[in-house]
Amino acid sequence: MKRLLSHPSLVIGLVATLLFLALGLLSLVWTPYPIAQIDIPRRFLAPSAAHWLGTDNLGRDMMSLVMAGTWTSFLVAAVAVAIGVGVGVPLGLAAAAWGGAVEWVVLRLTDFVFAFPAVIAAILITTLVGPGAVNAIVAIGIFNIPVFARVARGGALSIATLDFVAAGRLAGLGNTLIAWRHLLPNVMSLIIVQGTIQMSLGILSEAGLSYIGLGTQPPETSLGLMLKDAQGVFLIHPWLTLVPGLAIVLIVIALNIAGDGLRDAIDPRLRQGNPNVLA
């Protein structure tokens, strides 16, 4: 813990991320106003004691919307990262442990997914099953799979030739157990760092998809959807664009700083003298 805290960027990034996450979590149980509550007479209000961030074009409280939108963003990004890790890491480890045809198939699959622009695939998915936050999760999640597969395979390859892995094989461990016991623990730090970066990319992707109308649908809200709603009145009420825009920027910066800090803190190559690392 002390070691973690000695990286100031990590602390700043984590604190800022947790702050936004807390805001998002809070929106599940409490927002200053219900987000679906439209109140036309009080629209376009400037920030005040009653409405900390003002109100939008339908008279909804901006603070409440930002809180709920932040939660949507985190949720979509986190589940998408989970999909990427859950599918991608086993694929990558399998490629490293088995090699040969398995590796070839995994690599070609990741190439194939990489070759698709994420937005095109998202449009494809939403055309097939209709727009919605779930589809955004699936679309972003699918594009996380090759990222994690590559990272896991790359990390595992550099481990797989080490003596203790060979020793494991001599002791009779199969590929599955090698991957599970020896490769996975050693690529875990890489995965965590990559996961943080993918979180920030996922939040950006969700905002992008919602902005073009393929992600979260009203009356739910997300930061990208708020941007979309605000753009028509941008010249008259720029504040409405500024709030969700800044929120996205801050969250993404926070996650990136945290990711950088995490890498510095737990990358095994930057660490010495910890016997557990190669366990």
Partner 1 sequence: MNKTLKAFGLALALSTALAGMAMAQPTEVRIGVALEPPALDPTAGAAEAIDIVVYQNVFEGLTRIDQNGAVQPGLADSWTISDDGLTYTFKLHDGVTFHDGTTFDAEDVKFTFDRILGADSVNAHREFYEPITSITVIDPLTIELKLDRQIGRFLFDLGRGDAVIVAPESADNNANDPIGTGPFAFVQWDKGSRVVLEAYGPYWGEPVHLTKASYVFIGDTATLTNALLAGDIDGTNNFSTDALAVFENNPQFKVLVGTTEGETILSTNNKRPPFDNLKVRQAMAHALDRQAIIDGTTNGYGTPIGAPFAPHNPYYVDLTGTYPYDPEAARALLAEAGYPDGFSATLKLPPVPYARTSGQIIASQFAAVGIKLELINVEWAQWLEDVYANKDFDLSIISHVEPFDIGNYANPDYYFGYDNPEFQALIETLNGTVDETKRKALAVEAQTILAKDAVNGYLFELAQTGVWNAKLTGMWQNSPIEGLVLRDIAWTE
Cβ proximity to partner 1, 41 vs 273, nearer residue: 41
> Is residue 56 a contact partner of residue 240, using CB atoms and an 8 Å limit?
yes
Among the residue ranges 109-117, 148-156, 165-173, 217-225, the one whose residues contact partner 1 (CB under 8 A)? 217-225
Give the integer Cα–Cα distance in Å for 226 and 218. Answer: 10
- Out of 48, 176, 231, 274, the residue judged to bind partner 1 by CB under 8 A: 231
268 is a site residue for partner 1 (CB under 8 A): no
Give me the least distance between CB of 236 and partner 1, in Å please. Answer: 5
3-class SS at 58? Answer: coil
234 is a site residue for partner 1 (CB under 8 A): yes
Cβ proximity to partner 1, 6 vs 37, nearer residue: 37
Give the integer Cα–Cα distance in Å for 35 and 63. Answer: 9
Residues of this chain, 35-74, that bind partner 1 according to CB under 8 A = 36-38, 40-41, 43, 57-59
H helix or E strand, kind and range, residue 71: helix 62-98
219 preceded by cis ω (within 30°)?
yes
- Angle made by CA atoms 72, 77, 83, in degrees to the nearest 5: 130
219 is a site residue for partner 1 (CB under 8 A): yes
Instruction: Name the site residues for partner 1 (rule: CB under 8 A).
Output: 36-38, 40-41, 43, 57-59, 130-131, 213, 217-219, 231-236
